[in-house]
Amino acid sequence: MGTEATSPQSTSRRVATSDDLEVSAYLEIAREKGGQQPLAQQPASTAAEAVVVVDFGSQYSRLIARRVRELRVYCEIVPHDATWEQVAHLQPKGVVLSGGPASVYEEGAPLAPPWVYGRSLPVLGICYGMQVLAHQLGGAVMPGTRREYGHAELHQDAAGSPLFAGLPTSLPVWMSHGDRIERLPPGFRSLAYTDNSPVAVMANDQGIIGLQFHPEVAHTPAGKAILANFLFHICGCQGTWTPKNFVEEATERIRQQVGSGRVICALSGGVDSAVAATLVHRAVADQLTCILVNNGLMRRQEPERVVNTFRRNMKMNLVYVNAEERFLARLKGVTDPEEKRKVVGEEFIRVFEEEAVKLGKVDFLAQGTLYPDVIESRAPENRAAAKIKTHHNVGGLPTRMVLSLVEPLRYLFKDEVREVGLALGLPAEMVQRQPFPGPGLAIRIVGDVTREKLEVLRSCDWIVMDEIKTADLYRQLWQSFAVLTDTRSVGVMGDYRTYGYVVAIRAVTSEDAMTADWARLPYEVLAKVSNRIVNEVPQVNRVVYDITSKPPGTIEWE
């Protein structure tokens, strides 16, 4: 069985700039110590250098994609039943089969699509992915005599494999499986074993490799080097997917998509919309008009700051729309989080369409949709994943839209967007801003959204940000904010009984928001935040701290 146990991943936030020296070192290992020629042809351009991750439902699929991208090779995650027609545009140089919770001998267990074996591509099967390879290529998979979860020592059967170039013959690895390979498929040989897995790595001469362990997790120290050897030596990748190259290619794609059309961009002041707007402006210049909609759900002084920043520093066409009353009217009485997101998403589109009419003929709407938005909203290209929540700019969009979407960041993770922002020359203070949800404070108020509650939450949020920055913790956290709960509690101030709101403080560390850990904030910082909130915000008399990680929780409460 390919059952996966959770590995304690490092969730500290990555800095915006990547470790290019480390990538270069992996490239040198792959090129100088591999001893054989790459199995794939060199790409004609960086756009042709891509790897496909076939997802069998693994909790680590996103982590595999991240590790590949950290090595400067573009990749996308596709469901296990994706057809060749759905991936051919990527011109993949290799395939990774993810782990998963199933067992290959179970009825209806997911298997790799036929094109994985029919296109002469290098393939790397990880955990369940290795068992799929063995099962489909004529080997045998059986339940292990005992399951193997956690640390194990991997021993190479024979030196000289390009997969282990530059690595010692014994390595600590992270295992998470119940089944094991009982018989190798024809043409395969064993490359390594552990005490509980006689075949922990297998390969054939066509570049098809199976790993029983997880190279993508932090608890396999040499895992990134193993992935690098597969990408650079076996697949023939060059590691050319850099922020600079992405900017050049995205600019050209936007020009081709937009042509002579006009674009409006949903500008919020956050990192995603700022980078998306800058990319589109770089591509089509004055064909772009940015629109900042004050929906009444933004943080204190946010609209004014965004207008000043973009008009003074970015030199873009900017239209400011005050739609506060309109959004609050639509949200009146709405308490369901999913409905809030859909209401905000739809109203945004309607405002944009109306503004487009005022501007004349407008054809496109640009927005800063990211890959985690697509994944969590279960967009069509990721139908195998469960929907966690609807993101206002993906599942929250209305079915009828006049404008076509331009989404240059749709397949990037947040830290990749930050790198692109720096490559575009955006100021670091803008690029390093913590994420802010598209539906704004509406999903940080549990229950109905009112003007009074918004003002209470803005005051609490201001204090949280002030103290986090004063303690020099802002850049160390993925997000930190206040949540206004729908709970009231009894308190005492002076000699009087109070009955006020309970405010929850949320602070997390993360790499890409797909997983997150609650931040161990110093007690003195929490004490200052709590003391200031109950003293400066009269409607609040109790402050609690959320110590839930993701999973099982999400970063936002709604």
Q: Are 55 and 78 a contacting pair, CB within 8 Å? A: yes
Q: Exposed, middle or buried by CB within 10 Å (0-12, 13-18, 19+), for 213? A: buried
Count of residues in the chain = 558
Residue 280, helix vs strand vs coil:
helix
C-alpha pair distances (Å), 461 with each of 36, 293, 378, 454: 57, 20, 30, 10
Q: Is 249 a catalytic residue?
A: no
Q: What DSSP assignment string belongs to 325-358?
A: HHHHHHHTT---HHHHHHHHHHHHHHHHHHHHHH
**What is the Cβ-side half-sphere exposure of residue 231, based on CA atoms within 13 angstroms?**
32
355 counts as catalytic? no
Q: Report CA dihedral (547, 548, 550, 555) to the nearest 10 degrees.
A: -70
Residue 46: count other Cβ atoms within 10 Å of its Cβ. Answer: 20
Sign of CA dihedral 302, 307, 312, 313: positive
CA distance 302 to 431: 16
Question: C-alpha 196: how far from its chain's center?
Answer: 34
Pick the catalytic residue from 4, 70, 216, 416. 216
Distance between CA atoms of residues 223 and 221, nearest Å:
6
CB of 76 closer than 8 Å to CB of 96:
no
Non-local CB neighbours of 32 within 8 Å, separated by 6+ positions: none
CA atoms within 13 A on the CB side of 92: 25
State the alpha helices, DSSP H only, in 471-522: none
- Token readout for 282 is 């770089």
Pairwise CA distance, residues 75 & 12, whole Å: 23
| Exposure class string for 299-324: b at 16+ Cβ within 10 A, else e | beebbeebbebbeeebebbbebbebb
At residue 457, the 3 state secondary structure works out as: helix
CB 421, CB 270: distance < 8 Å: no
Residue 177 bears catalytic tag: no
Q: What whole-number distance in Å separates Cα of residue 453 and Cα of residue 278?
A: 34
Q: Which residues are catalytic?
A: 127, 214, 216
